[in-house]
C-alpha cells in the first residue's frame, strides 16, 4: 500500500515535457534525431514526454484543392499513424500526438514546452503564460522565413538553447541570452571498426541530399575532378531519398541504411566529404569521424564546430569544388596526412558525448520544476 502511494505521488509530481515539431517525422533528419535522443532519455528518467506533429504549417494561404488534400492527409495519418518516425526507435513511453496545426492546439496543463524550429517558436509564443517555454535553436532557419523573421523569433519570451557557437553569437547579437549545449553522439551507434591504416584510400563516402544547401552539386563536380586523376576511386553515397536517375556509374548508392549498416559503410571509406553550403552543426561529419574517416569538407560554420583545418579535417571555401577536390587528392596522395587527420578526428569527436549534452539540456528544461 505504501509503495503504491509513493508511486502515485511520484507520478503526480512527474514533470511533463512537450516537444513541438515543425512537421511529421517520416523523413529522417539530423535535427529530429537530436530531439529524439533527448526525448528517449527524458522518458528513461521517468519524465512524461509528448512529441507533437502538425499536419499543416501555420497561417498558410491555400487553395481549396490543397486544403482538401491537407484534410485528407490529416484523416489518413490519424488512422494509420503515418506521421511517426519509423527510422528512429523512440521509447514506447513517449506519447506521439498528431494535430491539425500547432496554432490550433496547446497543452491544457502546466508543463515545459520546447519549440524545435522557428515555425514552432512562432506558435509557442502565443501559448498560455502558465507554460514554461523553451526555444531549441539548431540552425539559422531562413529557408521558409525571412532573415528578419528568424531574428525576430530570438526576441520571443522563452529560454533559448543553441547547439553551436555561431548560433549563440547571432542570438546574443540580438541582445538576447542563449545557453550553448553542443550536440553529442551516442558512441554505441558509430565506432571505428576497420583499422584506419588498412583502408582503401580511394574509397570516399558522402551523404546525398536533394536540398541545394547541402551542396550535392558541388560534390559531383568535386568527384568528377578526383575521378579524372584517380579513376579507380569508389564513391559511396547514402541518403533518405531515392536513387537519382542521372547518378554517375562510379557511385554506389544506399537508401536509408540502418545505423548498423551505415556504420559499416563509414568504415569501408577512408575519406568523408562534406560539401554543404550551410549546416547548423553537421552530424554526419561527426559520425564519419567516429568511424575513422579523414574528413574533407567546406568551411561552413556548422562543420567548423568539429572540423579544425589541418588537424581534424581539411577544409575549403563553401562552393569551391576545385579546392575541395584538391584537398581530397591531397588526402589520397599523402598517407601520413590522411591517417593523422582521421585519428585526430576520431579522438577529438569523443569530446561530444550525448549523455553529457542531455544532462545539460535536462538541467535547463527542468530547472525550477
Q: What is the pLDDT of residues 276-306, one digit of tens each?
A: 999 999 999 999 999 999 999 999 999 999 9
Q: Is 147 left (phi over 0), alpha (psi -120 to 50) or beta?
A: alpha
Fold of 2-184+353-365: Rossmann fold (3.40.50)
Domain locations in the chain as residue ranges: 2-184+353-365, 196-351
Which 3 state secondary structure label does DSSP give 130?
coil
Set of cell numbers at residue 207: 551523404
- 255-272 pLDDT, tens digit per residue, is 999 899 999 999 999 999
Query: Quick check: 369 pLDDT over 50?
Result: no
Count the alpha carbons within 13 Å of 72 in the hemisphere toward its beta carbon: 6
Decide if pLDDT at 353 tops 60.
yes
From CA 43, how far away is CA 33, in angstroms rounded? 15
Residue position matching grid coordinates 547579437: 173
The structure's pTM equals 0.90
C-alpha angle 160-281-360 in degrees, rounded to nearest 5: 45
Question: pLDDT tens, 145-204?
Answer: 999 999 999 999 999 999 999 999 999 999 999 999 999 999 999 999 999 999 999 999
* pLDDT band (50, 70, 90) for residue 2: low
What pLDDT sits at residue 58? 65
- Which has the higher per-residue pLDDT, 57 or 32? 32
The answer to whether the beta carbons of residues 275 and 216 sit under 8 Å apart is yes
The pLDDT of 323-345, averaged and rounded, is: 98
Q: How confident is the model at residue 85 (pLDDT cuts 50, 70, 90)?
A: confident
177: exposed, middle or buried (Cβ count in 10 Å: 0-12, 13-18, 19+):
exposed
Whether 231 has a pLDDT exceeding 80, the answer reads: yes
Three-class secondary structure of residue 248 per DSSP: coil
For residue 221, the model assigns a pLDDT of 97
Grid look-up 562510379 returns 250
Can you name the CATH fold of 196-351? Rossmann fold (3.40.50)
- Give start and end residues of each alpha helix (H) in the chain: 2-13, 30-44, 64-80, 118-124, 147-153, 165-173, 216-229, 259-268, 283-290, 321-333, 335-348, 354-365
pLDDT at residue 325 greater than cutoff 80: yes
The confidence score (pLDDT) of residue 349 equals 97
Residue-level pLDDT at 78: 80
2-184+353-365 and 196-351: identical CATH topology: yes
Cell of 187: 558512441
| Helix, strand, coil % in the chain, rounded to nearest 5 | 40, 20, 40
Structure confidence at residue 59 as a pLDDT band (50, 70, 90): low
Do the beta carbons of residue 77 and residue 98 sit within 8 Å?
A: yes
- Residue 145, C-alpha cell as written in the block: 522565413
Amino acid at each position: 500500500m505504501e509503495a503504491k502511494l509513493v508511486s502515485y505521488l511520484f507520478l503526480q509530481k512527474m514533470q511533463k515535457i512537450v516537444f513541438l515539431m515543425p512537421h511529421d517525422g517520416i523523413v529522417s533528419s539530423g535535427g529530429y534525431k537530436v530531439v529524439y535522443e533527448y526525448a528517449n532519455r527524458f522518458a528513461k528518467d521517468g519524465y512524461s514526454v509528448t512529441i507533437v506533429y502538425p499536419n499543416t504549417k501555420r497561417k498558410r494561404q491555400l487553395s481549396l484543392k490543397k486544403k482538401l488534400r491537407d484534410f485528407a492527409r490529416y484523416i489518413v495519418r490519424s488512422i494509420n499513424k503515418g506521421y511517426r518516425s519509423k527510422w528512429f526507435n523512440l521509447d514506447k513511453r513517449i506519447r506521439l500526438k498528431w494535430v491539425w496545426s500547432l496554432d490550433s492546439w496547446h497543452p491544457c496543463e502546466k508543463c515545459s514546452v520546447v519549440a524545435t524550429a522557428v515555425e514552432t517558436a512562432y506558435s509557442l509564443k502565443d501559448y498560455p503564460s502558465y507554460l514554461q517555454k523553451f526555444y531549441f535553436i539548431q540552425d539559422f532557419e531562413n529557408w521558409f522565413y525571412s532573415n528578419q523573421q528568424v531574428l525576430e523569433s530570438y526576441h520571443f519570451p522563452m529560454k533559448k538553447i543553441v547547439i553551436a557557437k555561431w548560433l549563440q553569437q547571432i542570438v546574443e547579437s540580438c541582445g538576447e541570452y542563449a545557453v550553448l549545449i553542443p550536440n553529442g553522439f551516442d558512441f554505441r551507434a558509430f565506432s571505428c571498426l576497420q583499422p584506419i591504416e588498412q583502408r582503401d584510400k580511394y574509397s570516399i563516402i558522402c551523404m546525398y541530399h536533394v536540398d541545394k544547401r547541402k551542396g550535392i552539386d558541388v560534390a559531383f563536380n568535386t568527384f568528377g575532378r578526383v575521378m579524372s586523376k584517380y579513376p579507380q576511386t569508389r564513391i559511396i553515397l547514402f541518403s533518405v531519398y531515392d536513387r537519382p536517375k542521372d547518378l554517375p556509374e562510379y557511385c554506389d548508392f544506399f537508401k536509408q541504411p540502418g545505423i548498423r549498416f551505415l556504420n559499416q559503410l563509414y568504415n569501408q571509406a577512408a575519406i568523408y566529404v562534406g560539401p554543404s553550403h550551410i549546416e547548423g552543426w553537421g552530424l554526419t561529419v561527426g559520425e564519419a569521424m567516429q568511424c575513422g574517416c579523414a574528413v574533407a569538407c567546406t568551411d561552413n560554420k556548422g562543420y567548423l564546430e568539429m572540423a579544425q583545418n589541418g588537424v581534424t579535417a581539411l577544409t575549403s571555401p563553401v562552393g569551391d569544388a576545385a579546392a575541395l577536390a584538391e584537398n581530397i587528392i591531397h588526402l589520397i596522395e599523402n598517407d601520413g596526412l590522411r591517417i593523422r587527420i582521421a585519428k585526430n578526428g576520431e579522438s577529438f569527436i569523443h569530446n561530444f558525448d550525448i549523455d553529457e549534452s542531455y544532462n545539460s539540456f535536462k538541467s535547463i528544461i527542468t530547472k525550477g520544476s
